[in-house]
Amino acid sequence: MVEINLDHIYKQYVGNDNYSVTDFNLHIKDQEFIVFVGPSGCGKSTTIRMIAGLEDITDGELKMDGKVINDVAPKDRDIAMVFQNYALYPNMTVYDNMAFSLKIQHINKAEIKKRVDNAAEILGLEDFLTRKPAALSGGQRQHVALGRAIVRKAKLFLLDEPLSNLDAKLRVSMCAQIAQLHQRLKTNMIYVTHDQVEAMTMADRIVLTKQGTIQQVGTPSELYNQPVNKFVAGFMGSPSMNFFEVQLHDDKVSTLDKKLDVQVPPDKLAILRDKGYDQKTITLGIRAEDIHTDQILLQKFAGAQVNAKVEVSELLGVESMLYVMAGPHEFVAKVNAQNSHRPDEKIQLAFDMSRAHFFDLASQETIN
Ligand SMILES: Nc1ncnc2c1ncn2[C@@H]1O[C@H](COP(=O)(O)OP(=O)(O)OP(=O)(O)O)[C@@H](O)[C@H]1O
């Protein structure tokens, strides 16, 4: 059983006026697959490197099973790390790359062989054990890097953007393999990525960070469906959520030019009024998949219809991505590909306002 606690962790690099990580609090439960995600420079690598012991912690406590490990040397932390650039030893065979850390620990040869063979079997590397890294594909090299972590039987795996050197197709299959590996090994894993799709598909819980500060911690569905603020709403999901500055009046929200003038369902209206937003300007957020062009749905959501002009239509397969303009307001709808539309065509769309999100204009926090 392994539990990891990050309590009020701060990081300030020498010579850097700003904190790279600010008041980072997280309790990682046994066997959890945690994904750190966020834009470049938000402090993901810094945090994972502090957990590995490769960076000092400026303030706060890092605990493993209740014991503070801030000053424990990296080699004594029972943590295995897999890097983006694989960091394999080029002159060693695959077998020796995987065996290296065990040899240093003076583990006996028979045990080393057992562990390396086991890792090779898990990762499908049995036929490559005598090769050097240069004679492997990118995916195979990443498997060796994972194998080195597996043989150590570490309590915690840290994976820092391990797939970013691989092509898109290989990334998808490696994602699935890493998720399976997690099931099989039953260890804690922390996985760093800037790709929200990877985060959504792999994580038990996602930690979304912006400029060194956690924005939200939760399951993929929580971050997608109940974002705490506009940043989380916009970061999770592809394409990004559509946002409009609107005013609340009567039972509607409208843009100033009334190009968008849609009814708000009673439950959401009650919350907005209760919180004092009547006649105030707020941000409306709606995802592309909650905007429709089907006749039946246009009727169903008759109070939330919008007239727009098609700019671009992208066929994705069963769905199309429609980039449209309602006056000066640009937004995107993901619609059934059978409803084909051409550029410059004038169309009607309907917002499913039961799926709409509202954000305070100043704080950008979700109104709920
Ligand atoms: N050695 C360093 N000295 C000073 N500042 C640093 C150092 N390493 C990182 N930083 C700063 O700390 C902040 C967080 O960097 P970090 O590499 O942790 O971000 P990241 O989220 O992992 O980014 P990326 O996705 O681009 O790898 C950045 O502003 C970066 O410039």
Residue 222 and residue 280 in one domain: no
The domain boundary residue, chosen from 180, 204, 235: 235
> How many structural domains are present in the chain?
2
Residue 263 and residue 216 in one domain: no
CATH number, domain of 154, equals 3.40.50.300
Chain segment 113-122, per-residue pLDDT in tens: 999 999 998 8
Chain segment 235-257, per-residue pLDDT in tens: 999 999 999 999 999 999 999 99
- Answer whether residue 165 shows pLDDT above 80: no
Residue 108 and residue 9 in one domain: yes
Chain segment 28-41, per-residue pLDDT in tens: 999 999 999 999 99
Give the residue, out of 46, 83, 235, with the most ligand 1 atoms within 8 A of its beta carbon, to mutate for a pocket test.
46
Residue 212 and residue 255 in one domain: no
Residues 355/290, Cβ–Cβ less than 8 Å: yes
Q: What is the pLDDT of residue 278?
A: 96
Q: What is the pLDDT of residue 84?
A: 77
Is residue 95 in a domain? yes
Q: Quickly list H helices, the chain.
A: 44-52, 94-104, 109-123, 138-151, 168-185, 196-202, 220-225, 230-235, 266-274, 295-300
16-30, 181-195, 322-336: segment of lowest average pLDDT: 181-195
Q: What is the pLDDT of residue 76?
A: 87
Give the residue, out of 9, 20, 84, with the most ligand 1 atoms within 8 A of its beta carbon, to mutate for a pocket test.
20
Is residue 365 in a domain? no
Which residue minimizes the CA distance to atom 1 of ligand 1?
A: 13
ipTM of the complex: 0.97
CA nearest to 26, candidates 194, 154, 218: 218
Strands (E), 205-260: 205-210, 213-218, 242-249, 252-254
CATH number, domain of 287, equals 2.40.50.100
Residue 210 and residue 142 in one domain: yes
Report pTM: 0.91
Share of the chain above pLDDT 90, in %: 77
Q: What is the dihedral of CA 153, 158, 160, 162, to 10 degrees?
A: 30
Residues 133/184, Cβ–Cβ less than 8 Å: no
For 168-175, the CB contacts below 8 A with 24+ separation are 170/138, 170/139, 171/198, 173/139, 174/139, 174/142, 175/201, 175/202
Report CA(22)–ligand 1 centroid distance (Å).
Answer: 13
Residue 136 and residue 231 in one domain: yes
11-15, 19-23, 143-147: segment of lowest average pLDDT: 143-147
The domain boundary residue, chosen from 184, 205, 235: 235
Q: Tell me which of 75 and 109 has the higher pLDDT.
A: 109
The domain boundary residue, chosen from 235, 252, 269: 235
Ligand 1 atom nearest the C-alpha of 212 is 14
Residues 260/348, Cβ–Cβ less than 8 Å: no
- Answer whether residue 313 shows pLDDT above 90: yes
- Answer whether residue 168 shows pLDDT above 90: no
Q: What is the pLDDT of residue 340?
A: 77
Which residues fall within 8 angstroms of residue 116, CB to CB, at 6 or more apart? 95, 98, 99, 102, 129, 147, 151
Ligand 1 atom nearest the C-alpha of 11 is 12
Residues 7/25, Cβ–Cβ less than 8 Å: yes
Chain segment 41-58, per-residue pLDDT in tens: 999 999 999 999 999 999
Range of the domain at 51: 4-235
Is residue 366 in a domain? no
**Helices and strands (DSSP H and E) totals, the chain:** 10, 20
Token reading at 332: 């995107």
- Answer whether residue 171 shows pLDDT above 80: yes
